[in-house]
Structure formats: structure tokens, C-alpha cells
């Protein structure tokens, strides 16, 4: 659920107490481990952590007006989520292995970790993942993946129709 909140404080204030407490705890871990070059604010209707245009003028390739997303924190309808873009960009196996060592169950999409209560979150793994991804490293990784995508994403040729075959005619409606 996207929020219309203009600030992180407004976003947190509109949450039920249990969710606010959980997201504040995760947020504290993120902020403690976040590279100072990465900013916190509202992005895509959630708490966002992003590389500002002053550091990465190109912005997000999907919407260059947006700063480059790095991570996000959100309260969804049925769960809360932590989005860590570097995990989507190639660190998934390492992240999953570190999480497994904690004994906690991992409910993960491509880059989002879903959870219902704070006790479900391996905060140390979140902190370590955020800490090791500086703005510089993340930008290098991001640009390498963009370049890879541009060179390997070739348009598929249109499927050829078999020669000499015409599509079957549609049956005519029966007259009444």
C-alpha cells in the first residue's frame, strides 16, 4: 500500500503501534549501517533509501527524475517489507545463506523480505548487507548490470508463419 505521507515521520505516525515499532527497529539498523552518501526519504510511497542526484545525476533508469533506489521499508496490507536492491542485483545467494544461519524463516521475493513481526527479521543480516554496499559499490554494480542488460537483451525475431498455410477461416454464423 503506497502512502501519501510526505516525510518518514508522517509515514511512521500513520501506522498501527506494532508495525511502527517493528519498522522503527529495522530503520534504526539500516541507518546505523548506511553509507552517509545514501539519503533517507519517501520514495514510491514508502520509506526509501536512495543515492541522490547530486551523487548520481543519471537517477533511476526506469524514471530518471527519481534518485537511484538503494533500499526501502514498507508496511503492506498483510505484511511489512524490506527491499534491498543489491540483493536483487546479485547478492541473493549470500544473503539467503547468512539468513539461514540465523535459524529464522526467510519469506523473500526478488529483493524484498516480507515479515509479520520484528522477531521474524534477522536484523544482523540486514545490517551487514546494508553496510557492505556503499554508494560507490552499488553504483558500480548497478551500471555493470545496466550495461550487461543492454548488450544481452536482443530483440527476438518475429515467428515465421509456415509457408503455404492460410489461417483457418472462421465459421459463419447460421441464419435464423
**Residue showing cell 540486514:** 126
C-alpha cell at 12: 511512521
Backbone angles phi and psi of 60, in degrees to 5: -80, 125
- Cα separation, 111 vs 77, whole angstroms: 18
Residue 108 lies in a domain: yes
DSSP labels, 91-104: IHHHHHHHHHHHT-
Q: Is the pLDDT of residue 108 over 80?
A: yes
- State the DSSP code for 169: P
Residue 101 lies in a domain: yes
- The whole-number pLDDT of residue 171 equals 57
Residue 163 lies in a domain: no
Confidence of residue 51 (pLDDT cuts 50, 70, 90): very high
Among candidate residues 58, 54, 52, 97, the one with its CA nearest the CA of residue 70? 52
Residue range 126-166, pLDDT digits in tens = 999 999 999 999 999 899 888 887 644 444 444 554 555 55
Residue range 13-34, pLDDT digits in tens = 999 999 999 999 999 999 999 9
Residue 20 lies in a domain: yes
Residue 165 lies in a domain: no
Domain harbouring 29, CATH code: 3.90.1150.200
- The whole-number pLDDT of residue 12 equals 97
**Mean pLDDT across the chain, nearest whole number?**
87
Mean pLDDT, range 100-113, rounded to an integer = 93
Mean pLDDT, range 99-114, rounded to an integer = 93
Q: What is the domain count for the chain? A: 1
Residue 38 lies in a domain: yes
The rounded percent of the chain whose pLDDT value lies above 70 is: 83
Residue 119 lies in a domain: yes
Domain assignment of residue 125, given as a range: 8-151
Residue 172 lies in a domain: no
Helix (H) or strand (E) holding 40: strand 39-43
Amino acid at each position: 500500500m503506497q502512502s501519501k505521507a510526505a516525510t518518514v515521520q508522517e509515514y511512521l505516525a500513520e501506522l498501527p503501534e506494532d508495525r511502527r515499532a517493528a519498522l522503527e527497529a529495522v530503520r534504526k539498523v539500516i541507518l546505523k549501517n548506511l553509507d552517509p552518501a545514501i539519503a533517507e526519504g519517501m520514495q514510491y510511497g514508502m520509506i526509501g533509501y536512495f543515492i541522490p542526484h547530486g551523487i548520481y545525476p543519471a537517477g533511476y533508469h526506469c524514471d530518471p527524475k527519481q534518485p537511484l533506489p538503494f533500499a526501502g521499508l514498507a508496511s503492506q496490507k498483510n505484511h511489512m517489507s524490506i527491499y534491498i536492491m543489491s540483493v536483487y542485483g546479485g547478492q541473493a545467494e549470500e544473503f539467503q545463506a547468512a539468513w539461514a544461519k540465523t535459524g529464522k524463516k526467510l519469506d523473500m521475493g526478488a529483493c524484498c523480505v516480507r515479515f509479520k513481526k520484528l522477531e521474524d527479521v534477522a536484523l544482523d543480516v540486514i545490517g551487514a548487507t546494508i553496510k557492505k554496499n556503499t554508494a560507490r559499490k552499488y553504483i558500480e554494480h548497478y551500471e555493470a548490470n545496466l550495461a550487461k542488460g543492454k548488450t544481452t537483451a536482443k530483440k527476438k525475431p518475429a515467428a515465421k508463419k509456415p509457408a503455404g498455410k492460410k489461417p483457418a477461416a472462421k465459421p459463419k454464423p447460421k441464419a435464423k
